[in-house]
Each structure stands twice: as C-alpha cells, then as structure tokens.
A and B are shown apart, each in its own frame.
Chain A
Amino acid sequence: MFDPATKILIVDDMLTMRKIVSKACRELGFTDLTEAADGAIAWSKISESPTPFGLIISDWNMPNCTGVELLKRIRGSQKYSKTPLILVTAEAEQKQIVEAVKAGVSGYVIKPFTAQTLGAQIESVHAKLKAG
C-alpha cells in the first residue's frame, strides 16, 4: 500500500467530484491532499510543488486541459514521467481507454465508485510500481 503520507493531487473541474475523491482518500487514510480544477492548473501545481506528488487522481473530461492531455504532459516530462496517474471517468468507451493506456495511464476508475474501489485501484498501481 502507498504510504499514508503520500502527497496526492486530485484534479477535476467539478467541485463535487473533488470533494468525493478527497473524502474517499481520507477514508483510505491519506491526509496530504491538494486539489486542482483542471489539467492546466494541475500542471502548475505539479511543476511548482517543492515536494513531488506521489499520486495524481484526475478526471478525464475537463476544459482547458483534459486528463489524458495532462497524462501525456506528465509522461513527456523528464522530471515527473514516473508519477502514477489514475483517471476517473463516467464514460468508459473502449477507444478512450486505449488512448489512455497508450499514453501511459497507471489505472482508471469508473464513476460511481466507493472508497474501496478507489483503494483497490491505488493498491494495484502501487503493486505495479513495486514490480518496476
């Protein structure tokens, strides 16, 4: 399991979903949570943070910079390319998932979801990281 002190960035243009993801993360024991309202703001927070984020949980469809665009930006950067990113979506279309997998997504969660579902996905990402 991820260290509960892991710094997590939650990205969603909908305030309600940021609150839902934050609530789930708190239920899972995480306390260092930062929120961003779209991918562009998220990138600013990632690049300006004095300590790196250990996990990013991002919405898929957002204005300005979508979750996949943020993912591609992160994977394309030398400094943050290994940061795990989980996408959250309400519409799991096959071609969307293929695009995200090709872009290097660490995992995805389909809405609606419980804290347990998110926790299982975070655990799976952690296992993949440990396996190298």
Chain B
Amino acid sequence: MTAARKLIDVNFINPFLEATLKTLDTQASTKAHAGQVYLKQKSDKYSGDISGVIGLVSDAFTGSVVISFPAKTFLAVLSRMIGEECTEINDMTRDGAGELTNIIFGQAKIVLNKAGYGINTALPSVIAGHDHSVVPMTNGPRMVIPFETDVGPFVVEICLSNS
C-alpha cells in the first residue's frame, strides 16, 4: 500500500470512529452515534470549547487528530467518566480531555499498527477557550467525523500529509 493511498483510505478513518464509540461507551457510559464523515473545507467552522490534540507521526505521513467538544457535552461526558459532577473547564477537566484523547488515540493506534501503519507513540495537548478552532500545521485533507450523544455533539477531525 502506498502512502498516498493510505491518506485517503477509509480503513484509516474507521479505527478512530470505532475507538471513539468504544471509549465513550466503556469509559463514560455514553452511547455516541457517528454521522456522515466529510471533508472539511477552509470555510467550515466548528465551535469547540475544549479540544484534545494528538500528533500522528509515522515514516510515511504526519498529521493530527483533534477531538473538539462544546463545554456542555464535554463536562457531561467527563462527569460520567470520573463519577463526579464537573461544572467548568479548569485544570482538572483539561486533564480529562487529554486522557480521553489519549485513550481514543491508543485504541485506534493498536488497530492501525496491526495493519502496518507504524504510528509512533505521542502525547496529547489540550486547547480550551470558547468557540476556538484548531488549525493543523500540515496541509493535507481534513476529514471530520461528527458524533451525536444524549448530552450533545462533538467532532473528531483527522488531518494527514505525506512526510
């Protein structure tokens, strides 16, 4: 498989979709439903209040995965994860966004590396701020997976470029 084919392969997107569904269900008792995956245009804007970002690095490509939540959705999910009421974005809840990103990335990485993608271990970063957007430093296509839950929507965005 060539690197170029890997970039557009739906098999690359699905592990992140499945990992997200499994993580929210198992760790936060939250059933999420994925919407139609779409290619993000420069004009598209998603209003996130807290985002976990993690680098995708292998010999063939670089990129990033961004998981963006409105505050209401994220605080409800985190409250279920830790069994405590979370009411505001603070250091503790930012830590939660990092851990959630880490778990989803780890699950997807297991599947992708079994398929030979060779993704390196990476540590998540967290960006918080009302209605922010995350702009990747790579110029490849940005695929967006929208999710809906009983506590609101969120998105997972994957951006890849050849190394």
Least Cβ–Cβ distance between B16 and chain A, in angstroms: 14
The interface centre, meaning the residue of A17, A90, A92, A111 with most chain B CB atoms within 10 A of its CB, is A90
Judging by beta carbons under 8 Å apart, are B98 and A23 in contact?
no
**Which residues of B have CB within 8 Å of A28?**
none
Question: Is there a chain B Cβ closer than 8 Å to A93's Cβ?
Answer: yes
Judging by beta carbons under 8 Å apart, are B103 and A90 in contact?
yes
**Which residues of A have CB within 8 Å of B23?**
111-112
The dominant DSSP class at the A interface is loop
Q: How far, in angstroms, from A111 to B107 measured CA to CA in the complex?
A: 8
Cβ proximity bits B50-81 to A, threshold 8 Å, 1 near / 0 not:
00000000000000000000000000001001
The count of residues in chain A whose C-beta lies closer than 8 Å to any C-beta of chain B is: 17
The count of residues in chain B whose C-beta lies closer than 8 Å to any C-beta of chain A is: 24
Total residue contacts A-B, CB cutoff 8 A: 56
Interface residues of A in 84-127 (CB under 8 A from B): 89-93, 111-114
Question: Is there a chain B Cβ closer than 8 Å to A61's Cβ?
Answer: yes
Judging by beta carbons under 8 Å apart, are A112 and B26 in contact?
yes
Question: Is there a chain B Cβ closer than 8 Å to A20's Cβ?
Answer: yes
Judging by beta carbons under 8 Å apart, are B106 and A111 in contact?
yes
Of the A-B pairs whose beta carbons lie under 8 Å apart in the complex, a sample of 18, sorted by A's number, is A14-B95, A14-B98, A14-B102, A16-B81, A16-B100, A19-B81, A19-B83, A19-B84, A20-B82, A23-B83, A90-B105, A90-B107, A91-B110, A111-B27, A111-B102, A112-B23, A112-B107, A113-B27
